[in-house]
Amino acid sequence: NAGVMQNPRHLVRRRGQEARLRCSPMKGHSHVYWYRQLPEEGLKFMVYLQKENIIDESGMPKERFSAEFPKEGPSILRIQQVVRGDSAAYFCASSPPTGNAEAFFGQGTRLTVV
């Protein structure tokens, strides 16, 4: 049973370009969460999704950021018109649809905006 798979592991984008980060949850997990980590800081919650539904996006910036988890395929975190401040590690986690279950994290995608 493969763990949470994120790709790419490293992504470099120029200011103004779009960044697409992908996350495939563990088999049997229908809940996906995205977190962002700035250097030397803890992870910050961004969004919680279930298949085809956004459950809680209270941590998402109001503009340029969006997330989806389609019926088929991986979850996508999309950042439009990236700026230098978007440079960070973005982690995806997944869990099964049971209460207070342990969340398993992926290896993360390190986004660098130049």
The stretch among 14-22, 28-36, 65-73, 76-84 that binds another protein (CB under 8 A) is 28-36
Of 36-65, which residues contact another protein (CB under 8 A)? 40-45, 48, 55-56
CA 60, 37, 3, 82 torsion-angle sign: positive
Cα distance between residue 18 and residue 26, in whole Å: 26
- The values of phi and psi at residue 93, to 5°, are -135, 155
Q: Site mask, another protein, residues 74-93, x = CB under 8 A?
A: -----------------x-x
Which positions ≥6 away from 39 have C-beta within 8 Å?
A: 88
Residues engaged in binding another protein (CB under 8 A)? 4, 31, 33, 35, 40-45, 48, 55-56, 91, 93, 95, 99-108, 110
